[in-house]
């Protein structure tokens, strides 16, 4: 057996939460233990830029630095956005693209956004809001 057969490719799960105000990335191993967690506020000091796609690239860079040491090569990606939103925020696509370019192999991309199932009664009474 040579060196390449002995090295096992380690897998991890990348949980990306993107809203239009912030981007949060949480990397866990396959059993759910946290490896690293990076948010938009840890990368920039400007509140308006936390959900920016450029900042998301810096988040991916920081994740790459933390995860490469552990020998992680394969990633499962789970994207989540705010409940009821039709599309994820601007940072999700940029993070996946940056991680792919930095040498990680993405096995699966899953959208775990929750959707409302009726929810509480809307305000306005039986006849609704009238002008």
What's the pLDDT score for residue 114?
92
Structure tokens at 108: 């699966």
Q: Considering only residues 24 and 126, tell me which one the structure prediction assigns the higher pLDDT.
A: 24
Which CATH superfamily is 8-18+51-113 part of?
Ribosomal protein S11/S14 (3.30.420.80)
Place of tokens 């981007």: 23
Q: Give the DSSP letter string of 60-106.
A: HHHHHHHHHTTTEEEEEEEEEESTT-SS--THHHHHHHHHHHTTPEE
| Dihedral angle, C-alpha 55, 30, 68, 103, nearest 10 ° | -70
Domain ranges of the chain: 8-18+51-113
Structure confidence at residue 28 as a pLDDT band (50, 70, 90): very high
The answer to whether residues 81 and 115 touch, using CB atoms and an 8 Å cutoff, is no
For residue range 110-120, list pLDDT tens digits in order. Answer: 999 998 888 88
Residue in this structure with the two tokens 């959707």, named with its chain if needed: 115
pLDDT at 4 (0 to 100):
57
- Residue 2's pLDDT is 61
Pairing of strands 23-28, 10-18: antiparallel
CB 49 within 8 A of CB 55: yes
pTM (predicted TM-score): 0.83
């Amino acid at each position: 057996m040579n060196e390449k057969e002995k090295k096992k490719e380690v897998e991890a799960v990348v949980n990306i939460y993107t809203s239009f105000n912030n981007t949060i990335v949480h990397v866990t191993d396959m059993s759910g233990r946290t490896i690293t967690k990076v948010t938009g506020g840890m990368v920039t000091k400007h509140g308006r830029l936390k959900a920016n796609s450029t900042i998301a690239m810096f988040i991916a860079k920081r994740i790459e630095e933390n995860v490469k040491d552990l020998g992680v090569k394969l990633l499962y990606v789970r994207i989540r956005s705010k409940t009821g939103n039709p599309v994820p925020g601007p940072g999700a696509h940029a993070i996946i693209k940056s991680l792919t370019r930095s040498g990680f192999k993405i096995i699966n991309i899953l959208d775990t956004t929750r959707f409302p199932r009726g929810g509480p009664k809307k305000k306005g009474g039986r006849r609704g809001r009238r002008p």
